[in-house]
Structure 1
Amino acid sequence: MNEAKGTLYIVPTPLGNLGDISQRALNVLADVSLICAEDTRHTGQLLHHFSIRTPSQSLHDHNEKQKAAFILGKLEAGSDIALVSDAGTPLISDPGYTLVSLCRAAGIKVVPLPGPCAAIAALSASGLPTDRFAFEGFLPAKQSARLTQLEALSDEPRTLVFYEAPRRILDTLADMETVFGPERQVVLAKELTKTFETIHGAPVAELQAWLNEDSNRQKGEMVLMVAPAPKQEELPKAAVKLFLALAEELPRKKAASLVAEAFELKKNALYNLGLEG
């Protein structure tokens, strides 16, 4: 690696409580030549609080592709640069993927700092299985696409972790009840590390009722965690045989739907048959 090249530092920032920033993160932010921030005004408040005067410029979803090459050029010229998002760890449902990919391809050293991440913090306190989990980020905003994605995850044996916007929380939970059933356990964590931090778990139907009792419960940054799907009973051999035969002539989804209806089974269990390997 060319030692004259700079380093890109991935710097997590607090979710809300400024005491959660690490001393190493503060040192990096003070020492680099430039800070790339999702929102320079938001990050400016953090920098001002800690008396850090490093210049910053915006890098967000709408300008990353245009700015990444310019930032890469500064790194190749020897500048050290920090990448931050508004809160938590950059790239985790936040901008930065394009820039980091370009840096890796160009031989620029990328150094990740450990630190706050809403998904991990929420999961650790959820009471749901943590040995295996799947982070799914934000679900689609449109209901049809959201239902399709949830349907694809309905038999997932790992804990599911989502981010969700307050304006869509009730719609998303209603769709989860439709796909997962009213008894699936869901844990909502919101406003983590902040004054009104709340972690509340209940069957998805009850969680909706709890949110509807008080509109204030529907506000804030949210993480939704869904318990793993119950283990499926072994599929009848006749159903498996019929599905495999139909799948040779029909799309898998159609074959699964027909056999599921005939045998009163969940179509996902059939559709996923043989796909795991």
Structure 2
Amino acid sequence: MDEPALYLIPVTLGDTAIDRVIPPFNNEIVTRLTCFIVENVRSARRFLKKCDPSIDIDSLTFYELNKHTDKSRLAEYLSPMAAGTSIGVLSEAGCPAVADPGADVVQLAQRKGYKVVPLVGPSSILMALMASGFNGQSFAFHGYLPIGDDERAKRIKSLESRAYSEDQTQLFIETPYRNHKMADDLLRICKPSTRLCIAMNVTCDDEYMVTKTIGAWKNSLPDMQKKPCVFVLYKG
């Protein structure tokens, strides 16, 4: 690693075997790094140990980046790069900087002219789109929808309208313990002919990716309690 780089290192989406979703090349990079910017230190240490059981975790430097982090500290987090040291960025799940606070440090690295290297790994958003059977030429990811009933209803209607008027696939997520409320709202608000894919526990042993019309989903929803889901909406 001659030129220092900011490596964006995907992690498993659940309790999945490393070799099922993470390329060996990623492990080669991981074992050569000594500095990491992570969403959660404990889970990052656990992931790195899965990558290489012989790794000396206590010799590594961790900077925590999450919703509680003071953004003014990001320059400090990148300071090792000025001294020629590469840094790895780890999310809690999936790809860093996608629906993830890691985007802030990537933006700063780009502004400073540092090399940024995204590594291959699982993305629940793209894998849900792949499995849905919906339009993969035009799609939009919206993250979390509003919690309030009125605002959420308006947003769902707006996304459904875009699916029809723009021929665009709409993707969004929900906090796992509110998955059933999200699904119930979709069944109540959307047209019976509108199609919905529920992608749950992506890449895990109990992975579930099923597409049905809103009408067909009624009385047939899976158990989504506390399971990470991506909801994918498209025209009928």
Taking the TM superposition and a 5 Å limit, the aligned residue runs for 1:26-45 are 26-45=27-46
Report how far residue 5 of structure 1 moved.
6.8
RMSD: 2.3
Distance 1:79 1:29 in 2: 13
Confirm or deny that 1:171 pairs with 2:169. no
Q: Over residues 157-215 of structure 1, what are the superposed CA-to-partner deviations in whole Å (9 max), with x where a residue is unaligned?
A: 2111112223222322333344432331101011112121111222224425223xx6x
Q: Read off the aligned partner of 1:226 and give its amino acid letter.
A: L
Deviates more, 1:129-138 or 1:103-112: 129-138
CA 1:126 to 1:35, structure 2 compared with 1: closer, same or farther past 3 Å? same
The answer for the alignment partner of 1:47 in structure 2 is: 48
**Runs of 5+ unmatched residues, structure 2:** none
Report how far residue 69 of structure 1 moved.
1.7
Q: Read off the aligned partner of 1:209 and give its amino acid letter.
A: N
Distance 1:28 1:209 in 2: 47
Distance 2:56 2:70 in 1: 23
Taking structure 1 as the reference length, what is the TM-score of the superposition? 0.73
Report how far residue 39 of structure 1 moved.
1.3
Equivalent position SS for 1:41? helix
The answer for the alignment partner of 1:142 in structure 2 is: 148
Confirm or deny that 1:227 pairs with 2:234. yes
Figure out how many residues of one structure are paired with residues of the other and give that number.
Answer: 224
Residue of structure 1 aligned with 2:9, choices 8, 11, 16: 11
Taking structure 2 as the reference length, what is the TM-score of the superposition? 0.85
Taking the TM superposition and a 5 Å limit, the aligned residue runs for 1:207-222 are 207-211=217-221, 216-222=223-229
Does the 8 Å contact 1:30/1:53 carry over to 2?
no
The answer for the alignment partner of 2:205 in structure 1 is: 195
The answer for the alignment partner of 1:159 in structure 2 is: 169
Q: Read off the aligned partner of 1:10 and give its amino acid letter.
A: L
Confirm or deny that 1:128 pairs with 2:134. yes
- The structure number with the bigger radius of gyration is 1
Distance 1:129 1:65 in 2: 37
Q: Over residues 26-55 of structure 1, what are the superposed CA-to-partner deviations in whole Å (9 max), with x where a residue is unaligned?
A: 111111221111111112112112223352
Does the 8 Å contact 2:141/2:170 carry over to 1?
yes
Identical-residue share of aligned pairs (%): 28
Q: Which structure's relative contact order is higher, taking Cα pairs within 8 Å and 6+ residues apart?
A: 2
Q: Read off the aligned partner of 1:32 and give its amino acid letter.
A: L
Does the 8 Å contact 2:94/2:123 carry over to 1?
yes
